[in-house]
Amino acid sequence: ALADAPMAFGSTLADEQTRPNEFWRDRAAGGAADNDRAAFIAERDGAWVGIAICVLEEGGAGERPAWIFSMWVEPAVRRQGTAQALLRVLAGWARERGADVLNLHVTATNAPAITLYERLGFHATGATEPLPHTPSVRENHMACSLEQFRSAGES
């Protein structure tokens, strides 16, 4: 994901490659077992083609906010419903845990992602912050009430 879309994430491939294997094992175990965060993988023909992480965390919009992190889909399968499927799973997971709003940051230059999020009911809150590794690039805060979240195909 970081090699494909380095400007879509707050970290860099070089930084992440320095982390020890234990870090990744702990992160994977936590994403599978914690009640306040979850990692979801999209798979096609035995290969991983997408990832999305959701965390119940304060800040952003909502009384009981959830945050989407690390949303990415393999370029070869983009625009085929994978991102929408991942987002539906995240929304369901967050709802089951009492969240009321999904929050995310998206790089201001990532028009396809912004369009996808808007189509599903997200709106820009007006809050922005610098991308950590490239402060000249801004990230927009977007939010979507889980009551307003739309699955693909709904209008």
Q: Per-residue pLDDT tens for 96-126?
A: 999 999 999 999 999 999 999 999 999 999 9
How much is the mean pLDDT over the chain? Answer: 83
Cα 79–Cα 134–Cα 4 angle in degrees, nearest 5: 30
Distance CA 111, CA 147 (A): 24
Q: Per-residue pLDDT tens for 69-80?
A: 888 899 899 899
H or E segment to which residue 23 belongs: helix 21-33
Q: Which residue shows structure tokens 């709904």?
A: 154
- pTM equals 0.79
